[in-house]
Structure 1
């Protein structure tokens, strides 16, 4: 769970930074209308973050378009809202992990 929370905290930090830094430019390029490469899709940070957001039942947030990125950017500007979102994502992931019998039986 530490990795998940750290990933979201770093993403919030990047969203609050100037749009001219390389990380924000890469996000803008990723969500532009460029064609994807053939073959199996790579697991990228936006895909991983979107999968985390899909697990949230209470919100209808996604990270698939430039508009979704701008919405998350607005939430990241308001730190209490962003911290609440990160906490909700962490709690959802913890609940899903505790419900998964495979993860419980794999521990020693």
Structure 2
């Protein structure tokens, strides 16, 4: 995960790759009134600290699941 944020020279041409950091950031962005995102290594470290707190991680995963379900029901 940490390697994802290391700059690798020229940009990739074509369709964006679906990677774990991309999907996780999309999931986090679905949560209303959340300042969580995954755009930098600092954000990754913050998310890791949340993951180490079992209660907070459980709450976060429930919010992600509920947001995903709400998003699917709108379509």
TM-score (norm 2): 0.88
Where has structure 1 moved over 3 Å in runs of 4 or more?
Answer: none
- In the other structure, the counterpart of 1:24 is none
- In the other structure, the counterpart of 1:75 is 50
Determine the C-alpha separation between the residues in 2 that align with 1:91 and 1:82: 14
Note if 1:37 corresponds to 2:8. Answer: no
For the pair shown, which has the larger CA radius of gyration, 1 or 2? 1
Task: Give 1:87 deviation, angstroms.
Answer: 0.2
Note if 1:65 corresponds to 2:25. Answer: no
TM-score (norm 1): 0.63
Query: Which protein, 1 or 2, shows the higher relative CO under an 8 Å CA cutoff with sep ≥ 6?
Result: 1
Structure 1 residues not aligned, in runs of 5+ = 1-26, 101-108
Task: Give 1:31 deviation, angstroms.
Answer: 1.2
How far does the alpha carbon of each residue in 1:1-20 deviate from its partner, in whole angstroms, 9 at most, with x for none? xxxxxxxxxxxxxxxxxxxx
Aligned pairs for 1:1-108 (under 5 A) are 27-35=1-9, 36-100=11-75
Task: Give 1:58 deviation, angstroms.
Answer: 1.8
